[in-house]
Structure 1
Amino acid sequence: MFRFTSTARRTSGGDRPRGRHSAAARIGGLLAGLAALSLLTACGGDGDTAVASGESGDPIKIGVVGASEDYWKIFTDLAAEEGIDVELVNFTDYTQPNPALSQGQLDLNQFQHLQYLAAYNVANDDDLTPIGATAIYPLALYSKEHASLEDIPEGAEIAIPNDETNQARALLVLQDAGLLTLENGGDSTSLPSDIVAEESKVTVTPVAAEQTAVALNSVDASIINNDFVADAGLEPEDALYQDQADSPAARPYINVWVARSGEEDNETFQRLVELYHTAEVEEASSQASGGTAVFTDNPADELQGILDEIEGNLAAQG
Structure 2
Amino acid sequence: MKLRRITTTAIAGLFAATALVACGSDSDGSSTSVAEGTDGVKIRIGTTDAAKEAWTVFEDKAAAEGIELEVVPFSDYSTPNEALAQDQIDVNLFQHLKFLAEYNVGSGEDLTPVGATEIVPLALFWKDHDSLDGIDGQSVAIPNDPSNQGRAINVLVQAGLVTLKTPGLITPAPLDIDESKSKVSVTPVDAAQSPTAYQEGTPAIINNSFLDRAGIDPKLAVFQDDPNSQEAEPYINAFVTKAEDKDDANIARLVELWHDPEVLAAVDRDSKGTSVPVERTAAELQTILDRLEEAQAAS
Identify the residue that residue 36 of structure 2 maps to in structure 1.
56
Higher mean C-alpha deviation, range 158-167 or range 260-269? 260-269
2:84 to 98, 101, 110: 101
Secondary structure, aligned partner of 1:246: coil
Identify the residue that residue 246 of structure 1 maps to in structure 2.
228
Please report the TM-score for the alignment, with normalisation by the length of structure 1. Answer: 0.80
Identify the residue that residue 17 of structure 1 maps to in structure 2.
none
Is residue 135 of structure 1 aligned with residue 118 of structure 2?
yes
Residues 1:85 and 1:148: Cα distance change in structure 2 (over 3 Å):
same
**Unmatched tracts of structure 2, length 5 or more:** 1-18, 25-33
Once the 2 structures are TM-superposed, how far is the Cα of residue 250 of structure 1 from its aligned partner?
Answer: 0.6
Once the 2 structures are TM-superposed, how far is the Cα of residue 190 of structure 1 from its aligned partner?
Answer: 1.2
Is residue 194 of structure 1 aligned with residue 176 of structure 2?
yes
Contact 2:20–2:83 (CA<8 Å) still a contact in 1? Answer: no
Structure exhibiting the larger radius of gyration computed from Cα positions: 2
Identify the residue that residue 120 of structure 1 maps to in structure 2.
103
CA RMSD, Structure 1 to Structure 2 (Å): 2.1
Identify the residue that residue 142 of structure 2 maps to in structure 1.
160
Contact 1:145–1:220 (CA<8 Å) still a contact in 2? Answer: no
Once the 2 structures are TM-superposed, how far is the Cα of residue 157 of structure 1 from its aligned partner?
Answer: 0.5
Once the 2 structures are TM-superposed, how far is the Cα of residue 81 of structure 1 from its aligned partner?
Answer: 1.3
Contact 2:195–2:214 (CA<8 Å) still a contact in 1? Answer: yes
1:67-115 Cα deviation digits (max 9, x unpaired): 1222212111211111112110111021101011011111000000001
Once the 2 structures are TM-superposed, how far is the Cα of residue 194 of structure 1 from its aligned partner?
Answer: 0.4
Contact 1:146–1:152 (CA<8 Å) still a contact in 2? Answer: no
Q: Which amino acid aligns with 2:43?
A: I
Once the 2 structures are TM-superposed, how far is the Cα of residue 291 of structure 1 from its aligned partner?
Answer: 1.2
Identify the residue that residue 207 of structure 1 maps to in structure 2.
189
The separation in 1 between residues aligned to 2:165 and 2:98, in whole angstroms, is 20
The separation in 2 between residues aligned to 1:188 and 1:209, in whole angstroms, is 19
Residues 1:77 and 1:312: Cα distance change in structure 2 (over 3 Å):
same
Residues 1:199 and 1:293: Cα distance change in structure 2 (over 3 Å):
same
Residues 1:41 and 1:69: Cα distance change in structure 2 (over 3 Å):
farther
Q: Which amino acid aligns with 2:89?
A: L
The separation in 2 between residues aligned to 1:67 and 1:100, in whole angstroms, is 16
1:163-206 Cα deviation digits (max 9, x unpaired): 11100000000000000011321433211110011111111000
Identify the residue that residue 66 of structure 1 maps to in structure 2.
49
Provide the identity percentage: 47
Please report the TM-score for the alignment, with normalisation by the length of structure 2. Answer: 0.85
2:60 to 62, 65, 77: 77
The separation in 2 between residues aligned to 1:233 and 1:100, in whole angstroms, is 34
Contact 1:212–1:224 (CA<8 Å) still a contact in 2? Answer: yes
Once the 2 structures are TM-superposed, how far is the Cα of residue 41 of structure 1 from its aligned partner?
Answer: 7.9
The separation in 1 between residues aligned to 2:77 and 2:35, in whole angstroms, is 29
Number of residue pairs the alignment of both structures matches: 270
Is residue 90 of structure 1 aligned with residue 73 of structure 2?
yes
The separation in 1 between residues aligned to 2:131 and 2:262, in whole angstroms, is 35
